[in-house]
Structure 1
Amino acid sequence: MRILPTLLCQSGMRLGKTIFTDKGQVLVGVHVSLTDNMIRKLSQMGIQHLYIDDPRTDDIHIVDPIQEETRLLLSSSLSKVFEKFGATAGISSAAPDSFSTMSKFFVEGMSRVIDDLQTLNNDHVMVSTLNQVLPSSMEQHFTQKALNMCIHATKLAMAEGSFNREELMNIGLSALLYDVGSVHLPLQLLQKADHLTQNEYLEIKKHPEYGFQLLKNEAGIPEVAALCALQHHERINGSGYPYGLTKDEIHPYARWIGMLDSYDALIHPRSYRQALPPNLALEALYAGAGTLYDIDMVRLFRNHVAIFPIGLSVSLSSGDKGVVSQLNFKSMQRPVIRVLKNASGEDLKEPYEIDLSRKLNIVITKIGEQTMV
């Protein structure tokens, strides 16, 4: 099985996993052959990647960290947030109970996330580097980013090992909603291809306070979630915003979420730049360890995060191209690669595997299905 961005799937490809609705009903069954119309509709629904059958990778098993029903429940709630509090709706004009109505779905969804993650038999975190095409709308961008952050922050907190369920709920909800203030920013600023002017940047920097205002008095949403929304751009050396807080002035959850947010921003493309390869993004975190981010948090990230998830297509420095087939738990950044194409771009009749933890002279240079074309 392989992971492909939905927009890069082609008619005739067969699904490797069933797609469910938020009610648990089958939307598209496993092994169904895709059509152009199906691919377009799935993308419009916000489904950003698909599991695809491939005879060369039949033995590669990809475990989704949460059930599709859980993902769709949270996606639906996040979409409603975007609709109610987007740039065309004023925060102060929203109905007093409009967010509270959604809070119960966030809490239910977060409880499901914890249950789903606890069923896994390993402690590694599969950071999503899957969406190597720009989302087709700002709503999709907001939704997929919130889900990724929620899953990664919660699983990493589980790997740390000292948090009880209530604390995991608080961390997960904080990571799910930390960037909610961004939905109130003008779309032309979020989608601008050129560098921001000073005044535009000042407007962008208001989104932590917007998020704090939305979350601070919501029943069912922990107070720390509002604090994380306010502080996720603060940095331990005082260089962040909106208040230039330092070290222990920043809530630990906000420091954690801020580090993950920086990594997520680096590995995903923007309208004005390409995505940074995960290994270089990890180096950027280390460059900021002790100044921007807590060094212990960066180390935990390095030791428990699989920055190249199983099933991901990659290009190697040797020119060969293939798919991540196994993880090395003692060297999470150097997985096993099943080579499917040689340096000349020819399909191999007999694919073979390279263990990058043993071949230190070979590195991953590109990720994403476009590397396999």
Structure 2
Amino acid sequence: MKPTATLRPGQTLAKPVLNKNGMVMLGAGTQLTDKYIERLRTLGITDIYVEEDASSRTQGAESSPAIASHASASQERPNRKRNSAASKKAVDEAFARLIGNPLIRQQLSVPMLGDRFVRIYQTLLKELSDHRFIKDRLTLLHMKDPMLFEHTLNVATLSAIIGFAKQYSIEPLHDLIVSALLFDIGMTQLPDELLTKKGRLTDYDRGLIERHTVEGYQMLVHRSDLPGAAAICALQHHERYDGSGYPSGLSRSNIHEFAQIIALADTYDALVSRRHHRSSYTKRDAVEFLLGSGDRMFDLSLVKLFVGHISIYPVGSRVVLNSGQTAVITSVDSSLVQRPIVKIIREGDGRPVTSPYEIDLRAQFDLVIVDTAL
């Protein structure tokens, strides 16, 4: 056990630090920073176990919690190697899946752009799949939380679609995709328990989470093999159009355009994806949220561009209406993607429709899509 007064940055916890309610504040294996140490002292925590202390114990002290933690950490090392290999394989498979998947075009609500977008996006991804640093960071992200890794890939695809819609040339599109693949890399520095925590976050939890933007920036800013925008996006992707974001409270054009794009894609995918602490939003509700946040959280013109190009209901997909009816998407208006034209194939009572008929949801405001159907 080490007095907190003698702690140094870089030391590693051998045993979790708990608050008075028994909740984990910092998990075993967390590397101490100046901020963590200062916070521990502020909370009145006088002693903690660090790995170097556990290793210095004598063999006769086998019942010591610190030694048990250290032994556990030693036993986990082979597991970590196995986890690393599994995560590396998952990253390779994810790149292969994206590079070889023509269905990506279905995420575009403007079909005529689909083939060209897929060709350009997959060419850039193939180039980036050979980038050692990017793949290593994504492997760490997958080891930290597979859901967070999948979220990052989704954000990269959505960001690329927005860049494509803005008619970026190849070079800025490349830089945007790199930035999107690495925007959340600072999350690898957070305690595991915090990423999967359910329930309300404390002010201390929020402080740790907000720190990931600075951590990500510091991990990327000195890399000569990355575009400069990557570090900036890691730092700024939680800034907001009205200045209400963090870490610096930047607003409007003071936020890098790539960071604004990634922030929008990040928020949308977070809303429509299941999280450890909540279920997912419907795509319709997510779009409504983004439109309602225009010129507050995000530039409204960017939101409209995003909503106009992201296909939340691909043509041919099946959906369920609030009336209980099952329908097939037949046409999508890019200016109102959440209210497409649908063809009813099954009535609300389950009866199949012998002569399917169309309903334009832009004019039928009492009907909304509530779910997708198989």
Shift of 1:224: 0.7
Task: State percent identity of aligned pairs.
Answer: 32
Q: Among residues 167, 172, 191, which one is paired with 1:167 in the alignment?
A: 172
Task: Determine the C-alpha separation between the residues in 2 that align with 1:313 and 1:286.
Answer: 24
Aligned to 1:243: 248
Q: Among residues 332, 335, 359, which one is paired with 2:337 in the alignment?
A: 332
**SS of equivalent residue, structure 2 residue 370:** strand
Q: Are 2:155 and 1:149 equivalent residues in the alignment?
A: yes
Q: Are 2:329 and 1:273 equivalent residues in the alignment?
A: no
Shift of 1:171: 1.8
Aligned to 2:137: 81
Normalised TM-score (structure 1) = 0.61
Shift of 1:364: 0.7
Please tell me whether Structure 1 or Structure 2 has the larger radius of gyration of its CA atoms: 2
Aligned to 2:298: 293
Judging changes above 3 Å, is the alpha-carbon distance between structure 1 residues 189 and 70 closer, same or farther for their aligned structure 2 residues? farther
Aligned to 1:196: 201
Q: Are 2:225 and 1:220 equivalent residues in the alignment?
A: yes
Q: Is contact 1:215-1:226 (8 Å) kept?
A: yes
Q: Are 2:346 and 1:341 equivalent residues in the alignment?
A: yes
Task: Determine the C-alpha separation between the residues in 1 that align with 2:293 and 2:237.
Answer: 15
Q: Are 2:359 and 1:354 equivalent residues in the alignment?
A: yes
Count matched residues.
Answer: 270
| Matched residue type, 2:327 | G
Aligned to 1:264: 269
Shift of 1:275: 1.4
**SS of equivalent residue, structure 1 residue 205:** helix
Q: Which runs of 5+ in 1 are unaligned?
A: 1-40, 53-62, 89-137
Shift of 1:189: 1.3
Normalised TM-score (structure 2) = 0.61
Judging changes above 3 Å, is the alpha-carbon distance between structure 1 residues 69 and 225 closer, same or farther for their aligned structure 2 residues? closer
Deviations 1:339-359 (A, max 9, x none): 443312355566554342353
Q: Is contact 2:102-2:118 (8 Å) kept?
A: no
Q: Is contact 1:86-1:183 (8 Å) kept?
A: no
Task: Determine the C-alpha separation between the residues in 2 that align with 1:324 and 1:76.
Answer: 38
Shift of 1:337: 2.9
| Matched residue type, 1:142 | L
Deviations 1:20-55 (A, max 9, x none): xxxxxxxxxxxxxxxxxxxxx99x96679x999xxx
Task: Determine the C-alpha separation between the residues in 1 that align with 2:233 and 2:359.
Answer: 41
Task: Determine the C-alpha separation between the residues in 2 that align with 1:303 and 1:248.
Answer: 22
Q: Is contact 1:87-1:185 (8 Å) kept?
A: no
Q: Which one is further off, 301-310 or 66-75?
A: 66-75
Q: Is contact 2:151-2:270 (8 Å) kept?
A: no
| Matched residue type, 2:148 | F
Residues 1-373 of structure 1 mapped to structure 2, 5 A cutoff: 66=118, 80-84=136-140, 138-139=145-146, 141-161=147-167, 163-348=168-353, 352-367=357-372, 369=373, 372=374
Q: Is contact 1:319-1:342 (8 Å) kept?
A: yes
**SS of equivalent residue, structure 1 residue 306:** coil
**SS of equivalent residue, structure 2 residue 371:** strand
Q: Is contact 1:87-1:187 (8 Å) kept?
A: no
Deviations 1:42-75 (A, max 9, x none): 9x96679x999xxxxxxxxxx7864797698568
Shift of 1:221: 1.2
Task: Determine the C-alpha separation between the residues in 2 that align with 1:289 and 1:164.
Answer: 26
